[in-house]
Amino acid sequence: MGRLFGTDGVRGLANGRLTAELALDLAVAAARVLGSRGRDDIRQSGHGRRPFAVVGRDPRASGEFLEAAVVAGLAGAGVDVYRAGVLPTPAIAYLTGLLGADMGVMLSASHNAMPDNGIKFFARGGHKLPDDVENEIEALLGTAWERPTGSAVGRVQDHPEGHERYVEHLLSSLPHRLDGLKVVVDCANGASSAVAPDALRRAGAEVIAIHAEPDGLNINEQCGSTHMEALAAAVVEHGADAGIAHDGDADRCLAVDARGEAVDGDAILAVLALAMRDGGRLVEDTLVATVMSNLGLRLAMQAAGIKMVETAVGDRYVLEAMQAAGLSLGGEQSGHVVLLEHATTGDGTLTALQLLARVAETGRPLHELAAVMTRLPQMLVNVGGVDRTRVHSTPELARAVALVEERLGTTGRVLLRPSGTEPLVRVMVEAQTHDQAHNEAAGLAEVVRTLLALEQ
């Protein structure tokens, strides 16, 4: 089956690949790894002898039985459990840190369709796990362990205060209230359905909430950050100043301006970078983004005198780079934005509040703020059936890339990304025009197909 953990926890078809048995076993293994750390600190804090965990989920129907399995595994391994209920992923990360828990567990498949689900773990402080810790947990699956009995088994209690504590935290981050703004928020029938409208209203905005009635089956169904047509229409219909789109677990944020035009993660990063620089909160005047961020973001930041650090694709790599250098802002085109001053992971509601605060503070419409960045046409071609391991070691391919880069000059870019798991190479080209990006990407894709073809 290969490595169980992916780029964001363990994910798969609920009751298919991701069974109750696997969820229970993962919880036990995580308890054995994460629950054994920092016990002296726990005793000194007065919590008691047992480690404890915060568990939350999105509203998928499968989250009900998977939550039961995770809670059983943790308690059976001697971990006390605070069951926070339906909350966004970043809320569980925040509560893990706030309460001094040894670990947090979130059950969600993010933007995936309803039949999928996933398990994400957070370490003490609310931080995502590094690869070596995930490997340690995976290695313990199915191995013998000493089961606690009697008073040593974990206890389980609900934690209904989680919603209020998280919203108060979000509001405390606001640099400017949102009074006077009308906002449509698409909650994807997901984990933000209660939190996001509440936070926006208490921040002062007039809020129209759509797709905020989860029934366990309708999460991400033609709504949210992966289907923004309804949001755009609602913004125009209601004459709103902006629209906000979340995914199923609300760790990402995309936006729509008053004209109904999309504002992607790159544009949001550009607006926030300038706002934080002007407020003296952009550490070292540096933004962290992935290699897939549009060249237009790089050019805009260069013009504004803001430096950029580039990482591999994935918000975990953005976060690692930020933590290593002590930086304050980073994110992805997909809408994962990390504001390290206030959060340990991408937080869609936090991002929305910060973005709208900039609109309210400046009195400028969102489309005008986002216009600081001109998005260059980007073409992505997936080339399958090739030897992905030879992408960076084939001289003929390197020469072909150099020729394309020479033709594009300073207003274009080429990126070849081998898949981590499939015999596939992703060819990405950015250029001044759509036709140029399309033609150069198609030509380079054919070169990749020819030079790296697998032997039959």
Active site residues: 110
According to DSSP H, which parts of 131-228 are helical?
131-140, 162-172, 195-202
Contact, 424 vs 368, CB < 8 A? no
Cα gap 213→196, rounded to integer Å = 13
Looking up tokens 């805009």, which residue turns up?
Answer: 300
Bridge-partner residues for 57, per DSSP?
A: 86, 107
Cβ neighbours for 423, distance < 8 A, ≥ 6 positions apart: 384, 385, 386, 387, 388, 454
Would you call 43 helix, strand, or coil by DSSP? helix
Cα gap 373→170, rounded to integer Å = 27
Contact, 34 vs 103, CB < 8 A? yes
Looking up tokens 């568990």, which residue turns up?
Answer: 55
Cα gap 328→282, rounded to integer Å = 6
Cβ neighbours for 204, distance < 8 A, ≥ 6 positions apart: 177, 178, 179, 180, 181, 360
Beta strands in 78-233 (DSSP E): 80-86, 103-107, 116-123, 127-128, 156-158, 182-186, 206-210
Cα gap 248→284, rounded to integer Å = 33
